[in-house]
Amino acid sequence: MNEDSPMTVALQEAEMAAARGEVPVGAVLVDGDSGEILARAGNRTEADNDPTAHAEMLVIRQAASMAGAPRMTNADLYVTLEPCAMCAAAISFARIRRLYFGAYDPKGGGVEHGARFFQQPTCHHAPEAIGGIEESRAATLLKTFFEDRR
């Protein structure tokens, strides 16, 4: 991937989150037509003392606030880790068009693992979801982060 691709920017956000002592997850929300970055963030759960301050939630909140609308039907989300069930629900409610994620999360994921939120009959909107983008780089970042804390 080139150095200004959305997933590369998301990985940079994850690296900055790790440097702050946060679980290294980064997210970027882009306009689906122009590719313009609408919002970017890394996890801030520790810094904000907020269990909902996941990178995905932060970019959705930021972009929705800037747009003055709760739905972003023409936006694509790039995140370095498979979203959890909470984030998958927010992605659905925001009507995100496409989800691209890096590492799979067999323990806490909510898209391909766990709750599989988008496959539930109660899910009102399921984005196109594509996993494994820069998977090894994202997984290595997470593995190194947790190894360093043991």
Per-residue model confidence as pLDDT tens digits over 11-42: 999 999 999 999 999 999 999 999 999 999 99
List active site positions: 56
Quick one: tokens of 68? 């003055």
pLDDT of residue 1: 61
Q: How does the average pLDDT of the chain come out, rounded?
A: 96
Per-residue model confidence as pLDDT tens digits over 47-64: 999 999 999 999 999 999
pLDDT above 90: residue 90 = yes
Cα distance between residue 105 and residue 108, in whole Å: 6
Question: pTM for this one?
Answer: 0.96
- What's the average model confidence in pLDDT over 87-106? 98
Cβ burial 115-141 (10 Å sphere, 16+ → b, else e): bebbeeeeeeebbebebebbbebbbeb
pLDDT above 90: residue 148 = no
pLDDT above 70: residue 106 = yes
